[in-house]
Chains A and B, each alone.
Chain A
Amino acid sequence: MTAATLIPTGRRTVDRQLAAGVTLALLGVMDLALFGLAGHTGTAKFGMSLAGASVHVPDLSLPARGTPIVAGAISIVLGALRIRLDLSPALRRTTMGAAIGLFLVSFLCWAAAGQTLSLVGLLQSTATRSIPIVLGALAGCLCERAGVINIAIEGQLLLGAFVAAVAASATGNLWVGLLTGSLAGGLLAAMLAAFAIAFVVDQVVLGVVLNVFASGLTGYLYDRILVTYQRTLNQPPVFRNWKVPVLGDIPIIGPVFFDSNVFLYLTYGALFLVQAFLFHTRWGLRVRAVGEHPVAAETVGIRVLATRYRNVILGGLVAGLGGAYLTIGSVGAFGKDISSGKGYIALAALIFGRWTPLGAVGAALVFGFADALQNVLSILGTPIPSDVLLMLPYAATILVVAGLVGKVRAPAADGRPYVKS
């Protein structure tokens, strides 16, 4: 890397400073004018605990008009500071984050004016909506860090969901369902690995084909078998919520993070393991070497193809777990195309998260939050048309992530088959 790319030229800094400052100020003006001055009077109440909580936190009441006005003023001041001063990168990100946060607060005050919005419910819903997306994104991370593009996350979720439902119904044992669901994802991943690595098939095309295959196969078996034998094969039990003692009773944090079923806790575990292994172990270093420069990895004695096989299948096991969540962790029965595009959202989260586990989780949470928010907004009867609301999760993910993440770079050998010469 040359010095020129490391030290930006003066002109570029000024431009960026101006653009970011104007963005902050614009957000502030929107808070002030749209949600404040043109907003509703009255108070917006935010529920801070769920019904039946052991420690009751009183609702938070904010003036529906005053709050956006104050928030807007702060954002405008931040924007002015951003234009005038050359801030450190950390401070730059903080000001942008603060402005987005204030915008959100203003928006919520406007939407909840005169009503009560369950904030804890909103956050809890965010966590549960994110589970399959986080697991899918972790699966993608494992594959792509080793240099294999995984478009087939959607198919792995779907097959995992199907097998988990059938196995748990047939045996009556949820853990069997969880395990077989995960294995089913691994099986589809093994197909991906075999075709991509041994037969050097174009990985994007292959992933799409596997998704169609999984959708067709599960759809056919659903029509032919599950509908007829619904009681014995498609009525699995569902994992019950297990509240973590003590932690689960902490106000606000407890219900959001520590009162869910085994899948949320497994998601924490998978996240921690993938992050730690990829970036803090020798094994992870090798995986990343294979994904960045397989020829160099081979010369120092790393077995490139074996690493790729292992990682793709490992990823499939994680995605299969996400699929199992959809049936035995959430709604019970399997339905056609129950994954409904979550695998593709996971793929997007992975890319927006710069191919890092923590980044992908961040993007997945943004999506989950926006999805939960649009639902609550429609329930509160905001005048925004439902079609626009349904678009919100996608639009918000792109905007927030583009605003905060900037340029992303894929692993250098991602999608390039490795053939020994």
Chain B
Amino acid sequence: MVTDTGGIDDRSFNASSYQGLKDAAASDPAIVPSYVPSTTESDYTPNINSLVQKGCGIIVTVGFLMGDATQAAAKANPNQKFAIVDYNYSPPLPNVLGLIFNTAQAGFLGGYLAAGMTKTGTVATFGGQKLPTVTVYMDGFYDGVQYYNSQHGKHVKVLGWNEATQNGTFTGDFTDQSKGKSDTLAFIQQGADIIFPVAGNVGLGAAAAAQQNGNGVHLLWVDTDGCVSAPQYCSLFYSSVVKGISVAVAKAATDAAKGSFTGGNYVGTLANNGVGLAPYAKDVPQSLQTELATVKQGIISGSIKVASPSAPASS
């Protein structure tokens, strides 16, 4: 595996991808995971080439920034198998599997959950930067709240994102945690009691704000199960909107080892458990959990439509 510049321990997609390889190795002893870190973007191509020389069964590259380098290496070495996280090619390459995720579907469930749990009738979301991989969560969240409103005749308000205008609240980067905290306090002052930060580590600032405020403000964590990646704040999370990078990577590695690998695109959805919600906190009532299961089935069967301009087309 070649990491992005975030490094192997980024508690985000690099760590999740490597976890996937380790999981695959645990179930199939023939798989031996290893990685090369990239410190700058100019490391991508030499790193990939060094792994090609090594004769790896499958090379996993992480992040859309590595899209071009992976494509070049895949074309130069048609017999080498690749998988790339958060990127896809059209037309697809025969020896590359693009792993992308329709997180709008999981965000939808998050929005429904938040709308069902709020006491003030106001929930909020904010992003780090306005990128499609961020706003796709926010679109889903927004839609989920609207769906809850239409089902229950409620008027739960979403602060921080408007799907129609594609405009909302962003902190501007993925590092400034104190801004995440200030912004979240502002949301709380405007009445929100459930916050869904889509901003990586900046979300830790949101958790600090919720903890300081104390008045029953809760969060939904993003990408990974918050109770695992930020355990100190576990009591604040109703659940997490999860993107199953490790599951997808593990499957790609296992398939490559078994010889059943095919190139193309994999889209993580609710149907294939590529995206979803982490286990609920115990405050989430059983009735709401049952409703969420129904909604999930509705999305899978297609009777509930989740539309987002940033969502990947299904394969």
A and B: bona fide binding partners:
yes
- Considering the complex, give the chain A residue whose CB is closest to the CB of B200: A335
**Residue in A132, A241, A331, A372 whose beta carbon sits within 8 Å of that of B205 in the complex:** A331
**Residue in A51, A338, A379 whose beta carbon sits within 8 Å of that of B176 in the complex:** A338
Contact with B along A121-146 (1 / 0, CB 8 A): 11001001100100000000000000
A332-B208 contact given A121-B189, A340-B175, CB 8 Å threshold: yes
| B108 contacts chain A at the CB level, 8 A cutoff | no
Query: Which chain B positions have C-beta within 8 A of A121?
Result: 185-186, 189-190
Are A128 and B182 neighbours in the complex by a CB distance under 8 Å?
Answer: yes
Closest Cβ of chain B to A56, distance in Å, is 15
Are A118 and B175 neighbours in the complex by a CB distance under 8 Å?
Answer: no
**Residue in B173, B186, B215 whose beta carbon sits within 8 Å of that of A375 in the complex:** B186
Q: How far is the CA of A1 from the CA of B175 in the complex (A)?
A: 49
Query: Which chain B positions have C-beta within 8 A of A331?
Result: 177-178, 180-181, 204-205, 208
| B112 contacts chain A at the CB level, 8 A cutoff | no
Q: How far is the CA of A238 from the CA of B201 in the complex (A)?
A: 17
Q: Which of B259-301 contact A (CB under 8 A)?
A: none
Are A340 and B176 neighbours in the complex by a CB distance under 8 Å?
Answer: yes
| A47 contacts chain B at the CB level, 8 A cutoff | yes
Query: Which chain A positions have C-beta within 8 A of B232?
Result: 231, 235, 332-333
Are A385 and B9 neighbours in the complex by a CB distance under 8 Å?
Answer: no
Are B204 and A335 neighbours in the complex by a CB distance under 8 Å?
Answer: yes
Are B167 and A390 neighbours in the complex by a CB distance under 8 Å?
Answer: no
Are B189 and A330 neighbours in the complex by a CB distance under 8 Å?
Answer: no
A375-B183 contact given A51-B215, A330-B205, CB 8 Å threshold: yes
Query: Which chain B positions have C-beta within 8 A of A336?
Result: 175, 201
Contact with B along A304-348 (1 / 0, CB 8 A): 000000000000000000000010001111011110100000000
| A54 contacts chain B at the CB level, 8 A cutoff | no
Query: Which chain B positions have C-beta within 8 A of A333?
Result: 177, 204, 232
A379-B159 contact given A223-B7, A387-B130, CB 8 Å threshold: yes
Query: Which chain A positions have C-beta within 8 A of B10?
Result: 223
| B53 contacts chain A at the CB level, 8 A cutoff | no
**Residue in A224, A335, A381 whose beta carbon sits within 8 Å of that of B162 in the complex:** A381
Query: Which chain A positions have C-beta within 8 A of B160?
Result: 378-379
Are A47 and B177 neighbours in the complex by a CB distance under 8 Å?
Answer: no
Query: Which chain B positions have C-beta within 8 A of A383?
Result: 165, 167
Closest Cβ of chain B to A243, distance in Å, is 13
Closest Cβ of chain A to B34, distance in Å, is 18
For this complex, into which size category does the number of interface residues on chain B fall? 35 or more
| A227 contacts chain B at the CB level, 8 A cutoff | yes
- Considering the complex, give the chain B residue whose CB is closest to the CB of A387: B130
| B187 contacts chain A at the CB level, 8 A cutoff | yes
Are A223 and B9 neighbours in the complex by a CB distance under 8 Å?
Answer: yes
Contact with A along B215-244 (1 / 0, CB 8 A): 100000000000000011000000000000
Closest Cβ of chain A to B7, distance in Å, is 5
Q: How far is the CA of A378 from the CA of B175 in the complex (A)?
A: 20
- Considering the complex, give the chain A residue whose CB is closest to the CB of B165: A383
Q: How far is the CA of A331 from the CA of B165 in the complex (A)?
A: 31
| A41 contacts chain B at the CB level, 8 A cutoff | no
Contact with A along B1-41 (1 / 0, CB 8 A): 00000011111000000000000000000000000000000
Are A378 and B169 neighbours in the complex by a CB distance under 8 Å?
Answer: yes
| A209 contacts chain B at the CB level, 8 A cutoff | no
| A281 contacts chain B at the CB level, 8 A cutoff | no
For this complex, into which size category does the number of interface residues on chain A fall? 35 or more
| B168 contacts chain A at the CB level, 8 A cutoff | yes
Are B187 and A379 neighbours in the complex by a CB distance under 8 Å?
Answer: yes
Q: Which of B64-110 contact A (CB under 8 A)?
A: none
**Residue in A51, A132, A241 whose beta carbon sits within 8 Å of that of B178 in the complex:** A132
Closest Cβ of chain A to B12, distance in Å, is 11
Are B172 and A390 neighbours in the complex by a CB distance under 8 Å?
Answer: yes
Are B186 and A386 neighbours in the complex by a CB distance under 8 Å?
Answer: no
Query: Which chain B positions have C-beta within 8 A of A132?
Result: 178
Query: Which chain A positions have C-beta within 8 A of B130?
Result: 386-387
Closest Cβ of chain A to B207, distance in Å, is 8
Contact with B along A223-240 (1 / 0, CB 8 A): 110011001000100100
Are A372 and B9 neighbours in the complex by a CB distance under 8 Å?
Answer: no
Closest Cβ of chain A to B194, distance in Å, is 14
Query: Which chain A positions have C-beta within 8 A of B183?
Result: 375
Closest Cβ of chain B to A229, distance in Å, is 11
Are A47 and B182 neighbours in the complex by a CB distance under 8 Å?
Answer: no
Are B186 and A376 neighbours in the complex by a CB distance under 8 Å?
Answer: yes
Contact with A along B142-174 (1 / 0, CB 8 A): 000000000000000001101001011110110
Are B182 and A375 neighbours in the complex by a CB distance under 8 Å?
Answer: yes
Query: Which chain B positions have C-beta within 8 A of A335?
Result: 175, 177, 201, 204
Contact with A along B194-216 (1 / 0, CB 8 A): 00000001001100100010010
| B119 contacts chain A at the CB level, 8 A cutoff | no
| B251 contacts chain A at the CB level, 8 A cutoff | no
- Considering the complex, give the chain B residue whose CB is closest to the CB of A120: B189
Residue among B130, B167, B173, B179 with max Cβ neighbours from chain A (10 Å): B167
A47-B9 contact given A375-B182, A378-B160, CB 8 Å threshold: no
Query: Which chain A positions have C-beta within 8 A of B215?
Result: 51
Query: Which chain B positions have C-beta within 8 A of A191?
Result: none
| A48 contacts chain B at the CB level, 8 A cutoff | no
**Residue in B169, B180, B204 whose beta carbon sits within 8 Å of that of A379 in the complex:** B169
Q: How far is the CA of A375 from the CA of B177 in the complex (A)?
A: 14
| B124 contacts chain A at the CB level, 8 A cutoff | yes
| A50 contacts chain B at the CB level, 8 A cutoff | yes
Q: How far is the CA of A121 from the CA of B192 in the complex (A)?
A: 14
A-B contact pairs, 22 of them (CB 8 A): A50-B189, A116-B190, A121-B185, A129-B178, A223-B7, A224-B9, A238-B212, A241-B212, A330-B177, A330-B181, A331-B180, A331-B204, A338-B176, A371-B182, A376-B186, A378-B160, A379-B187, A381-B159, A381-B167, A384-B167, A385-B167, A390-B170
Return the 3 tightest CB-CB contacts between A and B, nearest first. Answer: A121-B189, A340-B176, A227-B9
A-side residues, CB < 8 A to B, are 47, 50-51, 116, 118, 121-122, 125, 128-129, 132, 223-224, 227-228, 231, 235, 238, 241, 326, 330-333, 335-338, 340, 371-372, 375-376, 378-381, 383-387, 390
Add 8 more A-B contacts to A326-B178, A331-B180, A335-B177 (CB < 8 A): A51-B189, A121-B189, A125-B182, A331-B208, A340-B176, A375-B169, A375-B182, A379-B124
